[in-house]
């Protein structure tokens, strides 16, 4: 497990890396850099999948949004599931991130971690 100032990242029992953004905290560029470094370090030597739980996250500033969008997730992960708040705002935040990121790997929005993990398990090369 890796704990940053704004998130907690773990490798789940099923081998999927998961990061949960703390509720109500503001992420600036240094915090975003910490969070990215955390998930990449947990995936070192693996080719696995990623769950990003941003259901509690506050809206991002443009520079942070672009930092996350340009992150080299495809070097370590084969698919990314975004967990967003089950609200119009939560879905809008998820959709905006997906549009800006233009990810080369499959990326989908989910209302909870269970449905996110189920989708990732169904992808090829589980674990």
Q: Which residues make up the interface to another protein (CB under 8 A)?
A: 59, 61-63, 65-66, 85, 87-93, 96, 100
Shortest approach of another protein to residue 69 CB, angstroms?
A: 11
> Which C-beta is closer to another protein: that of 14 or that of 63?
63
Q: How far is the CB of 124 from another protein (least distance, A)?
A: 33
By beta-carbon proximity to another protein, the closer residue of 21 and 79 is 21
Nearer to another protein, 22 or 61 (CB): 61
Shortest distance in whole angstroms from residue 60 CB to another protein? 9
Phi, psi of 58 (to 5 degrees): -85, 160
What would the DSSP string read from start to end of 77-121? Answer: EEEEEEE--SSHHHHHHHHHHHHHH--SS-EEEESSHHHHHHHHH
Judge whether 34 and 5 are in contact, CB under 8 Å: yes
DSSP strand pairing (17-21 vs 77-83)? unpaired
């Amino acid at each position: 497990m890796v704990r940053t100032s704004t998130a907690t990242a773990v490798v789940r029992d099923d081998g999927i890396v998961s990061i949960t953004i703390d509720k109500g905290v503001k992420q600036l560029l240094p915090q975003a850099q910490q969070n990215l470094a955390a998930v990449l370090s947990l995936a070192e030597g693996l080719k696995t999948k990623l769950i990003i739980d941003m259901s509690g996250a506050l809206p991002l500033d443009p520079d942070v949004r672009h930092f996350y969008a340009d992150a080299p997730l495809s070097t370590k992960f084969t698919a990314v599931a975004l967990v967003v708040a089950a609200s119009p705002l939560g879905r809008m935040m998820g959709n905006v991130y997906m549009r800006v990121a233009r990810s080369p790997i499959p990326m989908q929005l989910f209302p909870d971690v269970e449905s996110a993990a189920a989708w990732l398990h169904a992808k090829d090369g589980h674990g």
